[in-house]
Amino acid sequence: MLKKALYEYLCASNLNSSRDFNHKEYLDQLLVQLDKHITTTPFNHRVLLYQPGIVPDCLHFVESGVVRGYITDDNHKKEKTNYLWFQNSLLGNANSRFYELDSNLVFEVMRGTILCSISVSDLNELSQSFPCLNNVSRCLIESNKNSSSARLLNKFSNAWERLEELRRNTPEAEQLVSKGIIASFLGITPQHLSRIIREHIKKKPH
């Protein structure tokens, strides 16, 4: 659930400045209020959640499945996958959501995904009574870093190493999205991805 995830993100990141945040009564009140505002939506088919130029008006949590963030070239023919938000990820463009800048991303929810959501206006209102929620933007930025292709590209120069890292972190990734999306996320072509997979299968001892 999103309410549990928000609490765990805040605790794990040591971002809270309110001494009341560790008190059980305060926590219980926070969870009750979050529960009033959070909606859960299952997606039975692929859906474009946000288009470029649209400021996302909700904070989302991927309860299961995956959401893709991609950009297109000037001719809208070629897509580049910049983000894959898998299970237990906070979802969104931190700049657009919290600083009201337009996003250049297309947000695509993949089939079978379940999203928990809370509107930015509700989150801002709740933060008046629960100041710890003001730190959610920093949690979102951290989630975006962990879900970005840039992290893999900066960490590994070798495409196979990027694929191995993706498999380690998200073993179900190749079952959730197509080979073309995986290749785009890794910064290579689908043909290159197929080739390196074949090469490493051949290298395995029989």
Residues 109 and 201 in one domain: no
Residues 54 and 74 in one domain: yes
- Least Cα distance to 175 among 128, 105, 112 occurs for 112
- Give residue 34's pLDDT: 85
The residue whose two tokens read 């089939």 is: 111
Residues 129 and 165 in one domain: no
- Total of domains in the chain: 2
* In contact, 192 and 158? CB cutoff 8 Å: no
Which of these three, 124, 147, 170, is where a domain ends? 147
Which of these three, 147, 172, 196, is where a domain ends? 147
The residue whose two tokens read 């928990």 is: 116
Report, as ranges of residue numbers, the positions in the chain whose pLDDT lies below 50. 13-18, 20, 97-102
Query: What is the Rg, in whole angstroms, of the alpha carbon atoms belonging to the chain?
Result: 19
Residues 141 and 156 in one domain: no
Domain carrying residue 138: 2-147
| Distance between CA atoms of residues 72 and 82, nearest Å | 11
Residues 15 and 49 in one domain: yes
- Give residue 158's pLDDT: 93
Residues 39 and 78 in one domain: yes
Does residue 157 sit in helix, strand or coil?
A: coil
**Number of Cβ atoms within 10 Å of the Cβ of 155:** 10
* In contact, 58 and 120? CB cutoff 8 Å: yes
Residues 141 and 188 in one domain: no
- Give residue 90's pLDDT: 87
Contacts of 44 (CB under 8 A, 6+ apart): 111, 112
E runs forming strands in 51-200:
58-64, 67-72, 79-85, 90-91, 106-109, 114-119
- Give residue 202's pLDDT: 72
Burial of 105 by CB count in 10 Å (0-12 exposed, 13-18 middle, 19+ buried)? Answer: buried
H/E segment holding residue 48 = strand 47-50
- Give residue 83's pLDDT: 92
Residues 199 and 118 in one domain: no
H/E segment holding residue 205 = none
* In contact, 33 and 88? CB cutoff 8 Å: no
- Give residue 17's pLDDT: 47
Which of these three, 147, 162, 183, is where a domain ends? 147
Residues 130 and 156 in one domain: no
Any idea what the CATH number is for the domain that residue 63 is in? 2.60.120.10
Residues 84 and 139 in one domain: yes
Residues 118 and 39 in one domain: yes
- Least Cα distance to 83 among 141, 176, 148 occurs for 148
Please give the structure tokens belonging to residue 206: 């029989």
Residues 74 and 160 in one domain: no
| Distance between CA atoms of residues 2 and 119, nearest Å | 12
| pTM for the structure as a whole | 0.85
* In contact, 81 and 181? CB cutoff 8 Å: yes
